[in-house]
Structure 1
């Protein structure tokens, strides 16, 4: 085998490995190196071009959270299970981000279906946190619209993001990790919230 064929095989293997781990860096079957650099550095790289970007306050810190190791352990409850040794389906109860990290290694790219019922940022009282609104002053500081003393640094004081940035910071890592668990033909179902 000549060196050109070997290089082509290696490049294909690297590209497919990146596609499995970071599917969001591919655009029209080509690698967007700015997105790859952003994922690897944990920082948002802003570049002026004709593309749309979905950014929000705190997004640059999420890649560090996604890549931080899990410290928990999954422990089966055979007494509550039905025919545990002969079934291939499992139900897991636990903090979902930690659990997703624990499942990545053994189930990467193997899961057929994921069903989630996330919080919808309605502000209503549930077992889990469902109000992600942060104080206006904190949001304006985080987004660089005011300094630590409360002085305006911009004339455009947009505040509606404070209702959604924390929710996006909560959801993005979970959906990112869940996507990596899915097979190529896998699906994720997200329960629709129905307002009362």
Structure 2
């Protein structure tokens, strides 16, 4: 005890940071960002340090839109349904994350995701509109023509680099999913995200926004041994595995992290 009474302002700010880290930029409360998180339209002439892109406000609206879908049990393909301790859920990941919010809110210790790397050649779509019928949904994606016949091109389409919103599309796809994933984590839980050089910088800024940059645990480098030159003959030798905690202090206090070291002998050769 230092004899001082509780600093109400600091206490409130600390609690708000724990609940909504995305409402802070450079350790200061960003009112516009808070309004956006609460579903309000923002118009501001201020220029805070923040990651922004075309479609960001719409991505938050997608996050805030509830789903009325439900999970359907597959008894036929299940094993030991009544006693099994594990569950496999198959479905569109954003909608599924919304469905399980109430059941798993604050109960998950670890989340590992391997999102599309957005290389321009990988294929992903994120319609994020579930108010339409399945027929309308498939038709809009190009899966069916106007007469209802399946189109050979298929369900997935690539986000080509020629697209004027190439990075924006990817960020809009990830933002609501990361936010909902954070809701599922225990207070001492963490998320692990695989990524390569194409979006590593943007992903770090996005995770800083959703989880708070003070909750970065670290960046694990995976040596993938890529032999080819990806950028002007310079080979990208690694990929990144970003680790963020819901509450870094709690995570480190309750989680034993072990760094394995290789026992290497250095051989010194005397020059002749």
Shorter chain as denominator, the TM-score bin is: 0.5 to 0.7
Q: How many residues align?
A: 160
TM-aligned CA distance change 1:58 to 1:134, over 3 Å:
farther
Higher relative contact order (CA 8 A, sep 6+): 1
Q: Which residue in the other structure is 1:54 paired with?
A: 51
Partner secondary structure for residue 115 of structure 1 = strand
CA distance 1:187–1:85, shift in 2 (3 Å): farther
Q: Which residue, out of 21, 24, 38, partners 1:23?
A: 21
Gap change, CA 1:87 and 1:29, over 3 Å in 2? farther
Could you say which residue in structure 2 is the equivalent of 1:81? 78
Q: Which residue of 2 aligns with 1:3?
A: none
Matches within 5 A, 1:123-134: 123-124=120-121, 126=123, 129=156, 131-133=158-160
Give the Å deviation of 1:41: 3.8
In structure 1, stretches of 5+ residues that fail to align are: 1-7, 140-161
SS in 2 for 1:66: helix
Contact 2:106–2:184, Cα closer than 8 Å, also in 1: yes
Decide which of 167, 174, 197 is 1:164's aligned counterpart: 167
> Does 2:201 align with 1:174?
no
Query: When the two structures are superposed, what TM-score results if normalisation uses the length of structure 1?
Result: 0.65
Q: Say if 1:92 and 1:184 are closer, same or farther in 2 by CA, change over 3 A.
A: same
Deviation track 1:64-102 (CA, whole Å, cap 9, x = no partner) reads: 110111121112223323333233332211000100111
Alpha-carbon separation, structure 2, partners of 1:46 and 1:93: 41
Taking only aligned residues, the RMSD between alpha carbons, in angstroms, comes to 3.4
CA offset digits 1:94-134 (Å, max 9, x no partner): 00010011111221111112222211112335576463247
Is 1:186 the counterpart of 2:183? The answer is: no
Cα distance in structure 2, aligned partners of 1:170 and 1:28:
24
* Greater helix share, structure number: 1
Unaligned runs of 5+ in 2: 1-7, 126-155, 197-223, 229-272
Q: Is the 8 A contact 2:36 2:42 kept in 1?
A: yes
Partner of 2:210: none
CA displacement at 1:58 relative to structure 2: 0.6
Taking the TM superposition and a 5 Å limit, the aligned residue runs for 1:132-171 are 132-133=159-160, 139=164, 162-171=165-174
User: 2:119 matched to 1:116?
Assistant: no
